[in-house]
Chains A and B, each alone.
Chain A
Amino acid sequence: MEITLLRGAAVLLLLAVAAGIAVRKLLLIYRLIRLGSGPVPLAPLGVRLRDLVVQVLAHSKVLRRPASGILHFFIFWGFLVLLSTIVQAFGEAFVPGWTLPVIGAAPWFAFLQDVFIVLVLVGIGIALWLRLAVRPKRLAGQDPVGAYMILGLITGIMVTLLLSRGTAIVLDAPRWAAGAEVSRVVAGWFAGAARGTVGVVAAVSWWAHLLIILYFLTWIPEGKHLHLITLVPNILLRKARPRGALALLDVEHADRLGASRVEHFTWKDNLDVFACMECGRCTEVCPANSTGKELDPRRLHTDLRKQLTKVGPALLAGAGDVPRPALVGEVFSEAFLWQCLTCGACVEECPATNEHIDKIVEMRRHLAMEEARVPETMADALRSLEARGHPFRGAGLARDAWADGVAVKRLPAGERAEWLLWVGCAAALNERNHAPLQALVRLLQAARLDVGILGDEEACTGDPARRMGNEYLFQTLARQNIETLTAYGVTKIVTLCPHCYNTLRHEYPQLGGRYEVWHHTQLLARLIDEGRIRPGGAAASTITFHDPCYLGRHNGEYDAPRRVLGAIPGAKTVEMAQCRERSFCCGAGGGLYWLEDRVGQRVSHVRTSHVAATGAQVVATACPFCMLMLEDAAAATESTARPLDVAELLDRSLAEERH
């Protein structure tokens, strides 16, 4: 009795110490997170709860990598189920042989626990195999000591648990033993042993079990394992903005533009940083990183965390300025920050729902607006945007040059139309995109849709300026366009450009411009469904579709263009391995159309190699930027697959019929 009391007191004391250490560390992290600014509007609760179920309980994102997905799934569910054994182990400190009420002694429950002990051990095995034999590149950037440490601790917890259960069966023959198939095997090992020896093994393994768990508890708030605690809040506190929209900045009144110090981010950015589990999925799918550039979205998070943990405590203590390496320029070089295509592959992949693009754009905002330091060719584009409302220096084309010979209404000439065709600079000012525009107008007119254009009065939506970090210029252009759209009473917009689509749809409402916005492939798909466009002819070619980042990942539209292609008789479609959510940027996003891709492989050439791997004769595009990039890349790599816009392909099938 006295021994039990003493033991209970010792366990309580140890628990208090361990919990104290853990809580202290967690409180510090909480305060570091709160160093960030706010408020950050949150998504609707329903969405956040759904994400929680899908991404945490069902592990939807983690499972995209089969091996590491399964292993993590086993360990995660094992952790949940085996919480019961942990509670029981602590209970035994006070009442020997104590089990959870109702289910604790049930043989079926003991069976379940045994199953998960095995699954966790299998998970550990897969993890070791991955790390020692497969060695995927994405794990190379992790802290190896921490990773092996956690595997060791979990193994220790499982082994001591099995020993405790096995010896308990030998000593007490509890009711649950009937279900505990695996623990009974362990019990078998002690069949011939003296009762005293078994008792010692039982005591040692029970203590070891408890101590490892307590140590584990104090260790969680460090490094990547913190995600055990931060992940759920990170998912539950997801931002309200649609993925494609960047945060609105009050340029006139902000006391600083963008982020140049770790304390300039929002609390949500900081929470992201502590929720990162260093899995490297983002870096693995990053088109900039995988073509040999410096940009590394995982390092974005781990280095922000390092700096926050290093200088944060001094900042919390009230030190205004703490000496440290510059965030922009040293921790992250300017090249690092300018290499991001804002393609969203990282965001799509991240199991912690972290937002990489926002952080990069915040630092670009600092560079572009506070320091006016922008790579030269991008600066030329910005200057051109300022002077003439489009970023294509030296274009020398009128905005409606493409419409010569096409009977489309001109709103500035006083004509009225139900739909506005928003042309976009990339389409209007680059001759290669004139054919898709003309094809689109023919198709819409064949469907008897009433469309007009703004001609010279259309200005750039501001998307490139915003993504290059010049929020001021973006807002100037957006306000000007909103004024024009209001003046002509525009309510419905169709556009060929996914960048314009995204900005008009998600970003103009931030400034009061609300319209019904359609991407041309969406409208064409609808018109085909309604029977207003009837594809004919037989296009005898194999087509592969290149998903534009701003239509697919940023706006979730993967099916409309495929439905249009599928409706063309005789067209055979094949998919690239990197398609839909896994699509690979053409190399133009994030304003990088205006930056020569000189480091490592060219993103556009790699994309063309994906096209070539399908053997398709045509790569269908749905974005004027993708068109320009893929045309250039096809010429440079002597690829035989021709880029053609979805509208061009559909128009051809109609044209054949018209003959």
Chain B
Amino acid sequence: MEIIVCLKQVVDPELPARDFAIDPATRRQVREGRPLVISTYDENALEVALQLKDRVGGKVTALTLGPQGVAGDAIRLALAMGADEAVAVDDPHGVGLLGVEKARVLTAAIRRIGRFDLVLCGCESADWVERVVGPLLAEALAAACVTFVSRIELRNGALLVRRMADEGFHQLEVRLPAVLSVTSDETNRPRLPKVKDIMTARRKPVQVWPMADLSGTSLDGDAPGVEVRDVALPERTARCEFLPGDAAAQVAALTQRLRDLKLL
């Protein structure tokens, strides 16, 4: 089983609120000086891939995008957890790409990697939460697509996946090749890497492909059809008001207010 896992690096979602900032020029989150981590569900996707490899054998390739130098930690962690190969697409645009654009670059990279049975990615990224990369990849690669998958099993040559639904789950059989977007459950918590593997991961080669070398990734001309006009931090305001009068009057006024707000 040849599996490719797409890993996005995001600013640590647990960053103290004080350190969260938006660059007004690029309309993107400021990343400089902030710790980067693998986006939460992408780690689950990697875990699902590794578990499948542990059971049926095969190869897991970790794929990430990012400007030179930034991709390092995520890739090393993926290799330490058990990925066999790693590809980083050096993306001069930095991290400002939207899902549509990312999907295009990833498609080109996956085509260059060549053979694959499965492509896994997180069901949504921890920063932009667009949820489009998986389906767009499937479209471009002419592969089957299932979203919000939590478990995968290979039984008698058929791939059975569990797709989380609002109440309960769907059990689906999928033909290969397929692109699956992965969500979390108790069976796919990312593993801790063994120390030996961390140390060998430091020496494993990582292929770095300049984005310009990938065909069909040109972002000029062919507009992505989406544009970010403005990004703002949500403002939270709290107001406190004391209702006048004695207790009975207060109760009456309060009830009225709540009715007006359609809360009662």
User: A374 to B12, alpha carbons, bound, how many Å?
Assistant: 23
A residues less than 8 Å from B190 (CB atoms): 383
Q: Which of B17, B193, B199 is within 8 Å of A372, CB to CB?
A: B193
Which one of A68-76, A289-297, A394-402, A433-441 is at the B interface?
A394-402
Closest-by-CB residue of A relative to B33 is A456
Assess the B35–A472 pair: CB atoms within 8 A.
no
A residues less than 8 Å from B189 (CB atoms): 376
CB 8 Å contact bits of B13-54 with A (1 = contact, 0 = none) = 010111100000000000000010100000000000000000
Q: Which of A383, A387, A396, A472 is within 8 Å of B17, CB to CB?
A: A396
Task: Answer whether residue A388 sits at the interface, using C-beta atoms and an 8 A cutoff.
Answer: yes
B residues less than 8 Å from A372 (CB atoms): 191-195
Q: 29 pairs across A/B with beta carbons < 8 Å?
A: A368-B195, A369-B194, A369-B196, A370-B194, A370-B195, A370-B196, A371-B194, A372-B191, A372-B192, A372-B195, A374-B192, A376-B189, A382-B192, A383-B190, A383-B192, A387-B12, A387-B37, A388-B35, A389-B35, A393-B14, A394-B14, A395-B16, A396-B14, A396-B16, A397-B16, A398-B18, A398-B19, A401-B16, A472-B198
Closest-by-CB residue of A relative to B193 is A372
User: A23 to B196, alpha carbons, bound, how many Å?
Assistant: 44
Task: Answer whether residue A527 sits at the interface, using C-beta atoms and an 8 A cutoff.
Answer: no
Task: Answer whether residue A160 sits at the interface, using C-beta atoms and an 8 A cutoff.
Answer: no
Task: Answer whether residue A583 sits at the interface, using C-beta atoms and an 8 A cutoff.
Answer: no
Assess the A379–B14 pair: CB atoms within 8 A.
no
Given A398-B18, A398-B19, A388–B195 Cβ distance below 8 Å? no
Residues facing B in A326-377 (CB within 8 A) are: 368-372, 374, 376
User: A396 to B17, alpha carbons, bound, how many Å?
Assistant: 7
User: A384 to B191, alpha carbons, bound, how many Å?
Assistant: 13
How many residue-residue contacts, CB under 8 A, span A and B?
48
User: A394 to B195, alpha carbons, bound, how many Å?
Assistant: 25
CB 8 Å contact bits of B185-206 with A (1 = contact, 0 = none) = 0000111111110110000000
B residues less than 8 Å from A393 (CB atoms): 14
Given A387-B35, A396-B17, A252–B12 Cβ distance below 8 Å? no
Task: Answer whether residue A257 sits at the interface, using C-beta atoms and an 8 A cutoff.
Answer: yes
Task: Answer whether residue A251 sits at the interface, using C-beta atoms and an 8 A cutoff.
Answer: yes
Query: Which size class do B's interface residues fall under?
Result: 10 to 19
Task: Answer whether residue A470 sits at the interface, using C-beta atoms and an 8 A cutoff.
Answer: yes
User: A374 to B194, alpha carbons, bound, how many Å?
Assistant: 11
Residues facing B in A393-422 (CB within 8 A) are: 393-398, 401
Given A252-B199, A398-B19, A472-B198, A388–B192 Cβ distance below 8 Å? no
A residues less than 8 Å from B35 (CB atoms): 387-389
Which residues in A have some Cβ–Cβ distance to B below 8 Å?
A: 251-252, 257, 368-372, 374, 376, 379, 382-384, 387-389, 393-398, 401, 470, 472
Residues facing A in B205-226 (CB within 8 A) are: none
User: A490 to B195, alpha carbons, bound, how many Å?
Assistant: 31
Assess the A395–B195 pair: CB atoms within 8 A.
no
Nearest CB on A from B115, distance (A): 30
In the A-B complex, the 5 residue pairs with the smallest Cβ-Cβ separation, listed nearest first, are: A369-B195, A398-B16, A372-B192, A372-B194, A472-B195
Nearest CB on B from A366, distance (A): 11
User: A6 to B191, alpha carbons, bound, how many Å?
Assistant: 76
User: A577 to B196, alpha carbons, bound, how many Å?
Assistant: 46
Closest-by-CB residue of B relative to A378 is B192
User: A472 to B35, alpha carbons, bound, how many Å?
Assistant: 20
Nearest CB on B from A371, distance (A): 7
Closest-by-CB residue of B relative to A397 is B16
User: A387 to B35, alpha carbons, bound, how many Å?
Assistant: 7
5 more A-B residue pairs beyond the given contacts A379-B192, A383-B192, A384-B14, with a C-beta to C-beta distance below 8 A: A251-B195, A389-B35, A397-B16, A398-B16, A472-B195
Assess the B12–A388 pair: CB atoms within 8 A.
yes
User: A395 to B16, alpha carbons, bound, how many Å?
Assistant: 8
B residues less than 8 Å from A369 (CB atoms): 194-196
Q: Which of A251, A388, A472 is within 8 Å of B14, CB to CB?
A: A388
**Most A CB atoms within 10 A — which of B14, B37, B192, B196?**
B192
A residues less than 8 Å from B196 (CB atoms): 257, 369-370
User: A257 to B195, alpha carbons, bound, how many Å?
Assistant: 9
A residues less than 8 Å from B198 (CB atoms): 472
Closest-by-CB residue of B relative to A380 is B189
Closest-by-CB residue of A relative to B17 is A396
B residues less than 8 Å from A470 (CB atoms): 195
A residues less than 8 Å from B17 (CB atoms): 396
Residues facing A in B167-197 (CB within 8 A) are: 189-196
User: A177 to B14, alpha carbons, bound, how many Å?
Assistant: 86
B residues less than 8 Å from A398 (CB atoms): 16, 18-19
Nearest CB on B from A431, distance (A): 13
User: A35 to B67, alpha carbons, bound, how many Å?
Assistant: 53
Nearest CB on B from A331, distance (A): 22
A residues less than 8 Å from B194 (CB atoms): 369-372
Nearest CB on A from B21, distance (A): 13
Closest-by-CB residue of B relative to A399 is B16
User: A371 to B192, alpha carbons, bound, how many Å?
Assistant: 9
User: A398 to B18, alpha carbons, bound, how many Å?
Assistant: 7
A residues less than 8 Å from B192 (CB atoms): 372, 374, 379, 382-383
User: A388 to B198, alpha carbons, bound, how many Å?
Assistant: 17
Nearest CB on A from B167, distance (A): 26
Closest-by-CB residue of B relative to A429 is B16
Nearest CB on B from A208, distance (A): 61
Closest-by-CB residue of A relative to B16 is A398
A residues less than 8 Å from B19 (CB atoms): 398
B residues less than 8 Å from A387 (CB atoms): 12, 35, 37
User: A401 to B193, alpha carbons, bound, how many Å?
Assistant: 32
Nearest CB on B from A322, distance (A): 25
User: A369 to B199, alpha carbons, bound, how many Å?
Assistant: 11
Closest-by-CB residue of B relative to A386 is B77
User: A398 to B191, alpha carbons, bound, how many Å?
Assistant: 27
Assess the B18–A401 pair: CB atoms within 8 A.
yes
User: A251 to B35, alpha carbons, bound, how many Å?
Assistant: 25
